[in-house]
């Protein structure tokens, strides 16, 4: 009975084993069949989902284009845009001529031969440093190991005619680029410019004529094989305001901003370095300003720091215009006067309730009744001149003077009485203009001449009915922070004043984070157009620092600041909807260079031009 049971179990086990073998064989045949089918589909699937097609100047995933041929597609959206659109991924657009081929050749970023044609050794040394920046950037952008070692030689010839290294409102920034591929073994580039700064801009444009071919961790650098570009900026002043008084910004953070600015050809960093909150600038002649005014001994800019930043900016075609705001927005730091026998240099310091004495806490305004103030300003300006020699520009601030502060100081009101100045609105304007006149004299003495053109914010003194009485149109530039529909900038230009636009309801990038202010998208920044008037020097985006520090300064600036870069370089007759894909590629380029950039669109929309009109 046990034996019978065993054989019955054995027969059952044999049948189960046979069934297992049959199932395994079927599964194996199914696997080969599916694998074969998958192999056939994978090429189509790859074509549909991992390649990009160009149609009517727009790039989309190939799966959205019917009957697309593989040889009409690209393996990256970046290369598609470089070759599909008339102007590739250039930002800002060139203003004169921009002809580019739709073919690319591979180059080796580590094998570049550069020839310099310069009037002297100083300009050649400068260009060598800018070429070094160019080469490092080219290598950085192609992240990963080189996929091949192209034998083609990449030759660049740079020719300039001016020996000047000054960077001011008269600096010539134009350039010409010619790219040719004469044979399989050579890519030849010629960059011609008047100044080193024009040549630097040309090198940045050359970077934007390149693209990447990336497979896994391998990367190749490609460049269009033919191009002719002639370019110059429309506006002379293309700036970013950084505020390091409300929150301290480390030197490396400011350098990151400068690097990003250079990538879109912006040329002025307006550094609002002091305010009533803090005075972080260490001056050897006035060391107590930072001793009392800095947040800590670690949050100070030394002369070496400033020199370092000036040199760093200059190599990238950027000048630093430092602002020492006065007579308002001056508080902490200035209290040292009484300690050293100079009397009260500042009044209303940290007064409460603050709304009675200033527009924003902490309060403080310089004391125009104290003659020692102007001696102190002279020493301050003199040292600034040694740090940032001002060939033409210096920002003297000059906005938001709060009359009740001065009116609450008996020292000031007694001075007004002695001078025969009535305590009326016009009387306080006279006091204010008297301060400005004496401050300008202190500045001129520090500089050694009166040929500069200081910048002042628009204020009550710059109102059309007052300005000619108080401010000389041949000495001052007015930076207008009015609304987009206000006529003050145009009215000032009609009277002969030069103007820098700082339009608050379009170009203030701190808006939308506090109070009832409204956030300005990159499209708002781009679509605001200023007149091409000889008296319109340009404009800037402004990132006031109340809610900004090293952790978010770049995301709040970029890519919105890039929008004003094209607006001020090119002044194109285009809307933001017509340029968005180039802006997206500019954002990606900044990310590859290591910058922290705000996101402006879902990735799917980035990969498919024109399919997200709601963004």
Tokens 């950027």 -> residue: 318
Question: Are the beta carbons of 423 and 413 closer than 8 angstroms?
Answer: yes
Cβ burial, residue 589 (10 Å; 0-12/13-18/19+): buried
**pLDDT tops 70 at residue 135:** yes
Question: Are the beta carbons of 504 and 486 closer than 8 angstroms?
Answer: no
Give one word for 288, left, alpha or beta, with left for phi > 0 and alpha for psi -120 to 50: alpha
**pLDDT single digits (tens) 145-176:** 666 677 789 999 999 999 999 999 999 999 99
SS3 441: helix
- Model confidence band, residue 358 (pLDDT cutoffs 50, 70, 90): very high
CA triple 503-598-588, angle to 5 deg: 110
Distance CA 75, CA 53 (A): 9
Short-list 470, 469, 476, CA closest to 496: 476
Q: How far is residue 280 CA from its own chain's centroid?
A: 23
> pLDDT exceeding 90 applies to what percent of the chain?
83
> What's the pLDDT score for residue 147?
66
Tokens of 193: 């410019």
Distance CA 179, CA 228 (A): 7
Distance CA 575, CA 529 (A): 10
Please tell me the total number of residues recorded for the chain in this structure.
Answer: 615
Query: Which positions are catalytic?
Result: 275, 329, 400
**pLDDT tops 90 at residue 34:** no
Helix axes 77-84, 576-592, angle to 10 degrees: 130
> What's the pLDDT score for residue 149?
73
Which residues fall within 8 angstroms of residue 417, CB to CB, at 6 or more apart? none
Residue 591: CB atoms within 10 Å:
14
Short-list 372, 365, 371, CA closest to 337: 372
> What's the pLDDT score for residue 182?
80
**pLDDT single digits (tens) 191-201:** 999 999 999 99
Question: Are the beta carbons of 164 and 197 closer than 8 angstroms?
Answer: no
Question: Are the beta carbons of 363 and 378 closer than 8 angstroms?
Answer: no
**pLDDT tops 90 at residue 103:** yes
Distance CA 233, CA 59 (A): 29
**pLDDT tops 50 at residue 38:** no
> What's the pLDDT score for residue 144?
64
**pLDDT single digits (tens) 51-96:** 999 988 899 999 988 887 777 799 899 999 999 999 999 999 999 9
Tell me the pLDDT of the chain averaged across its residues. 91
Q: Which residue has the higher pLDDT, 8 or 555?
A: 555
Which residues fall within 8 angstroms of residue 115, CB to CB, at 6 or more apart? 155, 156, 157, 158
Question: What mean pLDDT comes out for the span 530-557?
Answer: 98
Helix axes 251-263, 560-570, angle to 10 degrees: 50
Phi, psi of 501 (to 5 degrees): -85, 130
């Amino acid at each position: 009975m046990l034996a019978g049971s065993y054989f019955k179990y054995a027969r059952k086990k044999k049948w189960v084993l046979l069934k297992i073998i049959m199932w395994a064989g079927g599964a194996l045949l199914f696997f080969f069949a599916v694998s074969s089918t998958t192999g056939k589909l994978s090429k189509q699937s790859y074509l549909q989902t991992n390649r990009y097609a160009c149609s009517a100047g727009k790039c989309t995933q190939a799966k959205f284009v019917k009957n697309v041929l593989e040889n009409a597609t690209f393996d990256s959206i970046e290369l598609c845009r470089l070759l599909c659109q008339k102007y590739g991924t250039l930002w800002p657009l060139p203003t004169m001529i921009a002809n580019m081929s739709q073919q690319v050749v591979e180059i080796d970023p580590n094998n570049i031969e550069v020839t310099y044609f310069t009037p002297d050794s100083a300009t050649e040394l400068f260009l060598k440093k800018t070429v070094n920046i160019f080469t490092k950037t080219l290598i950085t952008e192609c992240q990963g190991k080189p996929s091949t070692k192209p034998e083609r030689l990449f030759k660049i010839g740079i020719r300039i005619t001016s020996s000047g290294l000054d960077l001011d409102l008269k600096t010539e920034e134009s350039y010409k680029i010619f790219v040719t591929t004469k044979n399989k073994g050579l890519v030849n580039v010629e960059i011609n410019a008047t100044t080193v700064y024009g040549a630097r801009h040309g090198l940045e444009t050359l970077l934007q004529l390149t693209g990447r071919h990336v497979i896994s961790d391998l990367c190749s650098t490609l460049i269009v094989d033919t191009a002719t570009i002639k370019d110059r900026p429309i506006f002379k002043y293309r700036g970013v305001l950084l505020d390091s008084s409300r929150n301290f910004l480390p030197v490396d953070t400011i350098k990151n901003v400068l690097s990003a600015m250079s990538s879109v050809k912006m040329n002025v960093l307006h550094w609002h370095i002091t305010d009533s909150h803090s005075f972080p600038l260490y001056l050897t002649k006035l060391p107590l300003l930072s001793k009392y005014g800095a947040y800590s001994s670690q949050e100070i800019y030394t002369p070496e720091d400033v020199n370092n930043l000036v040199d760093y900016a200059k190599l990238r075609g950027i000048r630093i215009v430092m602002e020492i705001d006065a007579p308002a927005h001056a508080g902490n730091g200035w209290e040292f006067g009484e300690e050293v026998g100079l009397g009260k240099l500042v009044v209303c310091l940290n007064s409460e309730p603050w709304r009675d004495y200033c527009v924003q806490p902490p309060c403080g305004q310089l004391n125009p009744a104290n003659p020692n103030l102007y001696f102190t300003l002279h020493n301050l300006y003199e040292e600034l001149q040694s740090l940032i020699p001002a060939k033409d520009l210096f920002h003297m601030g000059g906005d938001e003077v709060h009359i009740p502060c001065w009116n609450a100081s008996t020292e000031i009101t007694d001075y007004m009485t002695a001078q025969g100045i009535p305590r009326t609105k016009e009387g306080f304007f006279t006091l204010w203009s008297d301060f400005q006149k004496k401050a300008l004299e202190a500045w001129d003495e520090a500089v050694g001449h009166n040929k500069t053109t200081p910048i002042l914010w628009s204020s009550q003194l710059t109102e059309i009915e007052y300005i000619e009485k108080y401010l000389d149109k041949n000495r001052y530039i007015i930076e207008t922070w009015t609304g987009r529909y206000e006529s003050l900038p145009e009215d000032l230009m009609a009277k002969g004043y030069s103007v820098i636009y700082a339009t608050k309801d379009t170009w203030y990038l701190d808006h939308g984070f506090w109070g009832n202010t409204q956030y300005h998208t990159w499209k708002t920044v781009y679509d605001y157009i200023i007149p091409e008037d000889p008296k319109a020097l340009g404009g800037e985006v402004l990132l006031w620092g109340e809610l900004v520090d090293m952790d978010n300064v770049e995301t709040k600036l970029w890519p919105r600041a890039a929008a004003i870069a094209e607006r001020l370089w090119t002044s194109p007759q285009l809307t933001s909807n017509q340029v968005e894909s180039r802006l997206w590629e500019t954002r990606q380029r900044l990310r590859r260079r290591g910058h922290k950039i705000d996101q402006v669109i879902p990735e799917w929309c980035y990969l498919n031009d024109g399919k997200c009109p709601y963004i």
